[in-house]
Chains A and B, each alone.
Chain A
Amino acid sequence: MKGGAGALLLRDRRAIAGGGLVLLAAAAALAAPALLGTSGGGLGDIVARRFVAPLAATPDGALHLLGTDAFGRDLFVRLCAGARVSLAVGFLAAFTALLAGVAAGATAGFAGGAADRAIVTLTDAALAVPRVPLLLLLVALFEPGVLLVVIALGLTGWMGVARLVRTEVRSLRERPFVEAARALGVRPARLLARHVVPNALAPALVATALGVGNAIMLEAGLSFLGLGVQPPTASWGNMIAAGRDALVVAPWVALAPAGAVAAVVLACSLLADALEAALAGEHARDTAATGRASRGTPLAR
């Protein structure tokens, strides 16, 4: 991730669209506390204020950009509040998965032998369990809540990163600069932390961008099933679940949060695609310029 890939990324429309959408969601999340104060203090006349259509005003004259829900709450404000949960869970879970995946992958690739075989078997076993049933198992064992969702998503999302990092580390281990550091007497732990892992992170970055989107999608899914973030805390998932009951009378209650989840997941997917292309482009130029052998890792998804 040097200047080359960064410049390629800035010229990619997918990166601009995806990055823009994520920034928009982040801005909404940051604006939420300020907005929460504005949507009327008291409950007022709920019957008059519930299920107001998008862009319509309630009898008291308040305009609702995306309409209101069954309790007369402004959907746009709730959407912004939900963005806080979704983005926080998405990024924290993907970061947890990145840490766990780098630890497992680097250990396996660097140590080799029995440790490598054990970690590879563990990774394969974890990959064999479909993620949602595994998440449901974890949720069933403990109390549902934001922290549990972050940990559960992190614990079920590290395998892709681990595989990519392991492959990178295995090839880096034999490279001259690592040999040189080893010959100079650098301890294995420092060798791994200073010389090997930083150079093995690029493909993990693509997996992490996808991981953020997946985590947001799964958090919303769990909350939709009633097993994630619990109401009244706004989360896009439990907002969809609430809107599902009013799908006939007020489809916008479900459509607004559903659109938000879909847009952010798409944004992460676009960012990952652009990142992958940028890294591949940088790589292609590297090999063209120096004639160096391929690093040899297809960026498997």
Chain B
Amino acid sequence: MLRYAVRRLLAAVPIVVLVLTVTFAGLHLAPGDPVRLYLGPEADAAAAAALRHAWGLDRPLAVQYVAWLADFARGDWGTSLAQRRPVTAVLGSALGPTLLLTGASLALSYLFGVLVGATQAMRRGTGLDATLTAATTVAQALPSYVVALGLVLVFAYGATLWGWPPALRLPALGAESVGADFLAPGARLADRLRHLLLPVATLALIGAAGVARFARASIAGALRQPFVAAARSRGLAESRILVRHGLRNALLPLVTLLGLQLPALFSGVVFVETIFAWPGMGHVVVQAVLARDYPVVMATTAIFALLVVASNLLADLLAALADPRVEVAA
């Protein structure tokens, strides 16, 4: 197991280096001189030269590249051109909200996705199966910004318009209410959870549909195996067959699916955070693109990529843990 883990880790290294190299190239391809962008057009040549020297931009490109990699590894990701503070400070406050949003969405996607998929696999060929297949096919194809706007329309504007009970009127902007700092801890937590509801529901709805389609196929495949017929002939209860034989054998493909779900989730998060003004990395990267704040754009892209590589690694290791054959085959 340890040898396998080390091998997978080493295999991820060239991918990380490639991503970082593209990031570095992007920073240098970007139109405009960062020193000029930072100082403004009326700065004099001496000040520009001084800053260029301070940032090390007067060194050969290869030296800059190695120095940049070293700085990146040490956690020094440069200075935001728009906000005039370290990129790490800009992103530090954004990483938490994004991880909360994506983590909660992923957990709910798998919970509801497996529930729906298992229900369909158990009732294959029935009207319920067909209805759920149609529903998940549609939900999976919906763009996140369409779902987000629909939920805002119903639960933020509509709920007030139609006089729904206050519990169903959900906030559509930000991570907490104005003045939430003054609330009691319990009320503040409730306020944060209410703000989390619509963004998480958007991502979880689309994610759960994808997981359900996949879970239905893999659980149904497992239930067609001869050992399931054997278990049934021994008189095992259907629920026990589903859990012991169906779910257990569908676990591996579901863990592998994680590697495909995450990049999609991090793409959806950009739209969802923008619509709900959620103070995460997606929101930050869109603002940075609009402000041509290259260091922030590059760092966010690199972090998104590193998160995906890390979680793919985790999925591979989980798959090996769930099924020793994976380790042998690799």
Contacts and interface: CB of A to CB of B under 8 A. Distances in A.
Interface string B3-44: 000000000001100110010001001110000000000000
Given A124-B15, A140-B292, A133 B267 contact: yes
Contacts of A129: 19, 263, 301, 304-305, 308
Given A130-B305, A130-B308, A269-B137, A221 B157 contact: no
Contacts of A121: 14-15, 18
Contacts of A262: 141-143, 146
A121 B19 CA distance: 11
Contact of B19 (A128, A131, A254, A269): A128
Nearest to A259: B146
B35 to A, nearest CB: 18
A137 B26 contact: yes
Interface in B258-278: 260, 262-268, 270-271, 274-275
Interface residues of A, number: 43
B173 to A, nearest CB: 12
Interface in B276-292: 282, 285-286, 288-290, 292
A125 interface: yes
Contacts of B215: none
A261 interface: yes
Contacts of B14: 121, 125
B297 interface: yes
A132 B273 CA distance: 13
B137 A273 contact: yes
A133 B300 contact: yes
B42 to A, nearest CB: 25
Contacts of A248: 157
B145 A221 contact: yes
Contacts of A220: 143, 145
Given A121-B15, A141-B30, A225-B271, A127 B145 contact: no
A301 interface: yes
A226 B290 contact: yes
A133 B270 contact: yes
A52 to B, nearest CB: 19
Interface of A: 121-122, 124-125, 127-134, 136-137, 139-142, 213, 217, 220-221, 224-227, 240, 244, 247-248, 251, 254-255, 258, 261-262, 265-266, 268-270, 273, 301
Interface of B: 14-15, 18-19, 22, 26, 29-31, 137-138, 140-146, 149-150, 152-153, 157, 260, 262-268, 270-271, 274-275, 282, 285-286, 288-290, 292, 294, 297-298, 300-301, 304-305, 308-309, 312
